Structure 1
Amino acid sequence: MSQWRETTLGEVADLLVGFAFKSAAFSEDPTDVRLLRGVNIGQGFLDWGRGAFWPDHQAHGSRYELEPGDIVLAMDRPWIEAGLKRARLRSGDLPALLVQRVTRLRGTSAVRTSFVHHLIGSETFSRYIQGMVTGTTVPHISQSQIGAFTFRLPPLTDQDVICEVLDALDDLIENNRRRVEVLEEMARAVYREWFVHFRYPGHDDAALVDSPLGPIPEGWEVVPLIGAARVTMGQSPRSEHYNTEGVGKPFHQGVTDFGTHLPTHRKYCTVDGRSATDGDVLVSVRAPVGRLNLADTTLVIGRGLAAVRSRDDGQQSLLFGHLKEVFAEEDSMGGGTIFKAIGKKELEQVQVLRVPSELAERADQVLSAKSDLIRALTFTNRRLASIRDLLLPKLVTGQIDVSSMDLEALVAIGDDLRKPSAESM
């Protein structure tokens, strides 16, 4: 620790603010170069769902080209309820160009890029940013404010050991996240193959008949959701019953803490209210209408959510598939009508397929197997992230000497640190 010195981020790291690329020149070709904007930055990840592109022939040699390992931080609304909007680029995110109102951070001869990544992922940096934006009408941070962050910088040899530990945890989390994405895509493909394209086992002799959803195999039905499932609309308890200390049951008001499949629990409620049980489909009934997750435990739901449970035992995963198809496009139902909110009656009248029980049970088994793997990987990532988040501030501030420890020993330390507040799995 005697060799650690106090400095600022701007003194030791390379900070660059993005360029105002003219929207009129944007490309619509997804094979061109991605433009990385604030809307693409999540809480520790990049979301390329809202894509913009720049012609490939105009991108090369630009000082705004991004590299693997670069860290990006949103400058508009950088901190939201779900956390700090920052991410690290990986090779699969490239090529990409940096757009205005986003800062790129990169290491120098004094600091490793990976150490900067973990530093801005610390609670200390998040609190610093929160202090900058709290109470402002349009929350925004400047490059100079980012650069003014003060911290103690370890020697490069210590940085390397710290990064080796935290990067190993990040890599495990990222690998599991990618496996979850693949499983999600596989489940989606199976559902569409069987129930959209009607290439299900034994489909060869099936005749198609008209239905409100278009041609469907003979013997299948289209029914309102209320005929296939029970719907529970959320109702928000008074705010004084909320906490972030883990007291009571997890509470979800809307999609703020939705993941790709399961929500992350950050708020809790000390009084009973409208609830979702383990396995219920959580449906957002306020903008964005139709975003879905699965409850992984009993939780209290607020006004922005509904919980949906199949009336047929052993068909919950299939119901999830039906609803993902219905709400494939958020904020719209049926003929493209735009919805900013839907009530119980509207939700209950959403039309879904009802298929013969033998096929439904077979499909549910296939989809449930993938859902169970997704659940296991998600729980593993929660544990790894919890360990990382407990170790990170102690490592970047020198409270734990890692010079003689391996990854397994540090993970064991992380497990010990998290025991008093460990969540039940």
Structure 2
Amino acid sequence: MSEWEEIGIGELATFRNGAGIKQEYFSDRGVKLARVSDFTDDSIDISKCNFVSKEHAIKWKSHFLNEGDVVVATVGSWPPNWSSAVGKVIRIPKALGDLIQNQNTCCIIPDNTKLDNRFLFYILRTIEFRWFAGNSAGGSANQARLPVAKLKQFKTLLPPLPEQKAIAHILGKLDDKIELNRQMNQTLEAMAQALFKSWFVDFDPVLDNTLAAGNDIPNELLEMAEKRALVPHSKKLISKAPELAAKFPSSFVFNETLGKWIPEGWEVKSVENAIHVNPSVSIKKGEVRKYVDMKALPTSGYSIDGFIEKGYSGGAKFKQGDVLLARITPCLENGKTAIVDFLKSDEAGFGSTEFIILRGKNQIKTPFVACLARFEAFVNHCIQNMVGSSGRQRVQNSCFNSYFLALPDHELLKKFDLLSKPNFNKITDNSNEIETLTQLRDMLLPELISGRVRVKEEIL
């Protein structure tokens, strides 16, 4: 690698600070605003973005971000909280629509005759840049700031442009597969959630049967029935799986506990009676077990982001297949939920005291519990029943006595598990592959960027 030149990135790119947009310009809709707080590990969570009204956004047209742009957080904390650290770098993915670069960020735009855009991204993902950013930042750990003048001084070994592209191609293929798996998991989860809502909340198969039988529809359900009548017959369960559809009732009864109409013959149970809440698990003090902290719970998907092993000294205890639900604000509102899928069948683990452990009972299995834990009405019920001081409010176990479920017989619950389980198994497989690919990428990154491992330009 003797032909690689060490050079400051300030000589290879232009640097653009984000726009200082006041809160008075925020809106319920319009153009999304890319803030440091919305950065994920390597991208941006657009579901959390604020909006700037379109009429005002035009003022910051020069700060609009494009697909592939590399953006660095110039304000933030410094380790151990790397998730919000100064120097964190993301790359804008496809299909985000219009997006404005906010203040406390710097967009680095490479001279494409000298520096490949994706190679730049990987340069800034190295541990060398992380330490450079932290050591070059001023201020405090709570509000460290990386001046752009300092950012420009970061030096890197620069291979010829074709080799840059070849390196970026290898690392990019791994990242592309990681992202594909993430998207697939989102789709699989959405499919399971849609089936849960259709069967146990909207009662679609029961409405279809009632309409087909010509039975009376309660006034409260007329609007839903009219919508079901518009659904093509070929897309209904009564057409796709008539034997399964026949297991659903064809009429409704009014339930006083729920205060609404439910399928005839279905049983109403509180969550506490339907599933196990914080079930008993035996772990002796000092026993070394797998431990999960709150940071490891995802806000989307169900995969736990790693664990450590340590001696048990207290905390929520769980087993394989249990669902972990955050009980404290703002973790619950942010959607922190996970499925335990890394233990042996006879193994127990433990985690944060701020976890609620949910486990299936009888024919209610993990897929049902996982869907319930992410069901909006159930989560809102938990949020509304939090108690405690502002910022430290917690869900009380008593709230599970007052949330009720309309449940069919065991045969339909078993069928739901049979249909949904492959989705969750595939989610676990994809998540395991993501972990393997991430480790491979992180192992290759420093070797390729430093030139210790060389690639042929012909790889493209």
TM-score, normalised via structure 2 length: 0.76
Does the CA-based 8 Å contact 2:270-2:403 persist in structure 1? Answer: yes
Inter-partner Cα distance in structure 2 for 1:88 and 1:141: 19
Given the alignment of the two structures, is residue 100 of structure 1 paired with residue 109 of structure 2, yes or no?
no
Inter-partner Cα distance in structure 1 for 2:399 and 2:295: 17
What aligned pairs does 1:118-137 form with structure 2 within 5 A after superposition?
Answer: 118-131=122-135, 132=137, 136-137=141-142
Does the CA-based 8 Å contact 2:386-2:395 persist in structure 1? Answer: no
Report the more deviating stretch, 139-148 or 156-165. 139-148
Does the CA-based 8 Å contact 1:235-1:303 persist in structure 2? Answer: no
Does the CA-based 8 Å contact 1:70-1:105 persist in structure 2? Answer: yes
Q: Which residue of 2 aligns with 1:292?
A: 337
Task: Give the counterpart letter for 2:37 in structure 1.
Answer: V
Structure 2 unpaired stretches of 5+: 206-244, 344-348
Does the CA-based 8 Å contact 2:363-2:413 persist in structure 1? Answer: no
Runs of 4+ in 1 over 6 A off after TM superposition: 233-238, 335-339
Report the more deviating stretch, 169-178 or 287-296. 287-296
Q: CA deviation at 1:390?
A: 0.5
Q: Which residue of 2 aligns with 1:151?
A: 156
3-state secondary structure, aligned to 2:27: coil
Inter-partner Cα distance in structure 2 for 1:330 and 1:153: 55
3-state secondary structure, aligned to 2:63: coil
3-state secondary structure, aligned to 1:43: coil
Q: Which residue of 2 aligns with 1:53?
A: 51
3-state secondary structure, aligned to 1:168: helix
Q: Which residue of 2 aligns with 1:67?
A: 66
Does the CA-based 8 Å contact 2:363-2:414 persist in structure 1? Answer: no
Task: Give the counterpart letter for 2:201 in structure 1.
Answer: V
3-state secondary structure, aligned to 1:368: helix
Q: Which residue of 2 aligns with 1:190?
A: 195
Inter-partner Cα distance in structure 1 for 2:193 and 2:138: 40
* Post-superposition CA distance 1:92-150 (Å, at most 9, x none): 11211111112222221321110111112222222333444796242333323333322
Does the CA-based 8 Å contact 1:78-1:141 persist in structure 2? Answer: no
3-state secondary structure, aligned to 2:33: strand
What aligned pairs does 1:19-98 form with structure 2 within 5 A after superposition?
Answer: 19-29=19-29, 32-56=30-54, 59=57, 62-77=61-76, 80-82=81-83, 85-98=88-101
Inter-partner Cα distance in structure 2 for 1:117 and 1:38: 17
Inter-partner Cα distance in structure 2 for 1:116 and 1:301: 38
Task: Give the counterpart letter for 1:229 in structure 2.
Answer: H
- 2:439 is aligned, of 380, 383, 386, to 386
Inter-partner Cα distance in structure 2 for 1:405 and 1:164: 11
- 2:360 is aligned, of 310, 314, 323, to 310
Cα distance change on mapping 1:135 and 1:277 into 2, 3 Å: farther
Q: CA deviation at 1:168?
A: 0.9
Q: CA deviation at 1:313?
A: 4.8
Does the CA-based 8 Å contact 1:222-1:354 persist in structure 2? Answer: yes
Does the CA-based 8 Å contact 1:249-1:269 persist in structure 2? Answer: yes
Does the CA-based 8 Å contact 1:233-1:303 persist in structure 2? Answer: no
Does the CA-based 8 Å contact 1:250-1:300 persist in structure 2? Answer: yes
3-state secondary structure, aligned to 1:207: strand
Inter-partner Cα distance in structure 1 for 2:33 and 2:164: 31
Q: Which residue of 2 aligns with 1:222?
A: 269
Task: Give the counterpart letter for 1:216 in structure 2.
Answer: I
Does the CA-based 8 Å contact 2:17-2:105 persist in structure 1? Answer: yes
How many residue pairs get aligned? The number is 398
Q: CA deviation at 1:58?
A: 5.2
3-state secondary structure, aligned to 1:171: helix
Inter-partner Cα distance in structure 2 for 1:230 and 1:204: 33
Task: Give the counterpart letter for 1:158 in structure 2.
Answer: E
Does the CA-based 8 Å contact 1:262-1:293 persist in structure 2? Answer: yes
Structure 1 unpaired stretches of 5+: 242-247, 408-425
Inter-partner Cα distance in structure 1 for 2:254 and 2:128: 61
Cα distance change on mapping 1:329 and 1:44 into 2, 3 Å: farther
What aligned pairs does 1:188-267 form with structure 2 within 5 A after superposition?
Answer: 188-200=193-205, 201=245, 202-212=248-258, 214-218=260-264, 219-225=266-272, 227-232=274-279, 249-258=289-298, 260-267=300-307
Cα distance change on mapping 1:148 and 1:303 into 2, 3 Å: farther
Cα distance change on mapping 1:39 and 1:148 into 2, 3 Å: same
- 2:147 is aligned, of 142, 145, 155, to 142
Does the CA-based 8 Å contact 1:70-1:104 persist in structure 2? Answer: yes
Does the CA-based 8 Å contact 1:77-1:139 persist in structure 2? Answer: yes
Inter-partner Cα distance in structure 2 for 1:126 and 1:213: 56
Q: CA deviation at 1:297?
A: 1.6
Does the CA-based 8 Å contact 2:275-2:364 persist in structure 1? Answer: no
Inter-partner Cα distance in structure 2 for 1:327 and 1:69: 38
Cα distance change on mapping 1:336 and 1:277 into 2, 3 Å: closer
Report the more deviating stretch, 227-236 or 341-350. 227-236
* Post-superposition CA distance 1:315-362 (Å, at most 9, x none): 221112222225444971369999844366336536242512122112
Given the alignment of the two structures, is residue 162 of structure 1 paired with residue 167 of structure 2, yes or no?
yes
Inter-partner Cα distance in structure 2 for 1:265 and 1:88: 21
Task: Give the counterpart letter for 1:400 in structure 2.
Answer: V
Does the CA-based 8 Å contact 2:25-2:56 persist in structure 1? Answer: no
Task: Give the counterpart letter for 2:73 in structure 1.
Answer: A
